[in-house]
Amino acid sequence: MPRGDGRLSQDLDPQRPGPQDACGVFGVWGPGEEVAKLTYFGLYALQHRGQEAAGIAVSDGSGVVVYKDLGLVAQVFDEPTLASLRGHLAIGHTRYSTTGGSTWENAQPTIRATSAGTTIALAHNGNLVNTAELAREVAERKLTTDPATTSDTALVTALLAGRPDMSVEAAALEVLPTLRGAFSFVFMDENTLYAARDAYGVRPLVLGRLERGWVVASETAALDIVGASFVREVEPGELLAIDEDGLRSSRFAAPEPKGCLFEYVYIARPDTTIAGRNVHAARVQIGRQLAKEHPVEADMVIPVPESGTPAAIGYAAESGITYGSGLIKNAYVGRTFIQPSQTLRQLGIRLKLNPLRENVRGKRIVVVDDSIVRGNTQRAIVRMLREAGALEVHVRISSPPVNWPCFYGIDFATRAELLANGLDNDGIRRSIGADTLGYVSLGGLVAATEQPKSRLCRACFDGEYPIPLPAANQIGKHVLEGVARRVDADAEQRNDGGADRPASSDHLVAQRLAASSNGGGTHRS
């Protein structure tokens, strides 16, 4: 089975990565169901949210097993592996790293045993902004963590496990209010599935119903693929617990909704619904608004597949310009394991997209894309279309200029690298080589979501961060890799119960923590 390399397909030049997605989380409580397979297919539906690593934790009531590796969901798991993951309860994660590098140790779910005999596994979508502060707390309390792990998720798991005199549910109600930043968690012990969402609800999380159980997932599309019916969104500031006694809801913070606006632009699947609004419909409406705000005389509207397609449909419908295909995407470009040679690297985007020369030759083209970050992709596309014979290339973008980095779960470029940060509209147009350039207005984008502006996080567009940020040296993807953690190695060996990666050259391993060896069971609040 091929190993994952932690490199996304758009990273054809490692020095110029594009915007990376948030992670995807999934959880299922379903006695009598094949919970590992349900989780596998749920993660498969969420693969677009993270392509570096994947993992599943499962419990049969007596112990928790975690199986994870770098790579895509279909590369990490196969039939024999899934068949070995038996139980009534599972969580899963597909990762793009926003805190901590792309290593096996940082793959999720994370797992930790408590001295009380409970095992906790946790998966996280989002990014905390008080990670350095949490790392100091973990060190001061001498809680065990794997020194090779540098993710905020591992710190949260350690803090939950560091309260052995409490049930997991009670520990969560104590720990969750101390976390600052964006988080949608699914986590579990031997008997209970938990889900929690930060008070701002930055990253999505939904609840679904199976005939014989419950599902939580990052997007409604993942509910659809496993045959679960949508019940509702997990509310900002809410903790859910699901076990044999049913579903319980607790509040750990007052809700202050600030859902991520970029989910509507790029991250979420078009067949997902967020806050009652279908994402595809929102993107079509954004395209219509683009046509109103930035009309142009042209012969054909084409999308940059696939993320620009709904907005291009909307632009064509509103403008009356013919919609057509001008760029063909390689359907198998999901991942490259072999690094391109320098010659191929210079071709760049052609490994993913190629122009339909017969369609664009001699025409004035409107090309619709979702966003411009560094401008490398748009520059290459404009060049390709001109080389294919396009007379004019008019670029339309279905989001406002990205001026600010995200600290809540999307790994954009640094502010210095953002093209819009240093150039005005005409400067960007010249930089990418377009005849004209038009961005949808922030007001137009917000209107298409059918959400009030006050309920949306717009920080990457307007710099208004709803969750206060720490000092610059206390935030960032690799913040923990520079934080010295005071961990007693002997205590870790004693308390860990075998949770860390076994000494093996094979990364594709299962971790088992058998709670039954020290009494098993779970205390309830």
Which sequence positions are flagged as catalytic?
23
Determine which helix (DSSP H) or strand (DSSP E) holds 403, and give its type and residue range: none
Among 282, 290, 245, CA closest to 266: 282
Beta strands in 72-198 (DSSP E): 89-95, 110-113, 119-128, 181-188, 193-197
CA distance 296 to 484: 56
Taking the C-alpha atoms of residue 344 and residue 88, their distance in angstroms, rounded to an integer, is 48
Report the chain's terminal Cα–Cα distance, integer Å: 44
Contacts (Cβ under 8 Å, ≥6 apart) of 343: none
Q: Determine the Cα–Cα distance for residues 314 and 323; give it in Å rounded to an integer.
A: 9
Q: Is 138 exposed, middle or buried (0-12, 13-18, 19+ CB in 10 A)?
A: buried
Q: How far apart are CA 110 and CA 515, in angstroms?
A: 16
267: left (phi over 0), alpha (psi -120 to 50) or beta: alpha
Q: Which residues contact 37 (CB under 8 A, 6 or more apart)?
A: 82
CB 315 within 8 A of CB 396: yes
Give which of 37, 38, 27, 35 is closest to 88, Cα–Cα: 35
Q: In what helix (H) or strand (E) does residue 207 lie, and over which residues does it extend?
A: strand 206-210
The helix-helix angle for 309-319 and 279-293 (nearest 10°) equals 50
- Amino acid identity of 497? G
State the Cα angle at 107 between 124 and 243, rounded to 5°: 45
**200 vs 181: CA distance, rounded Å:** 9
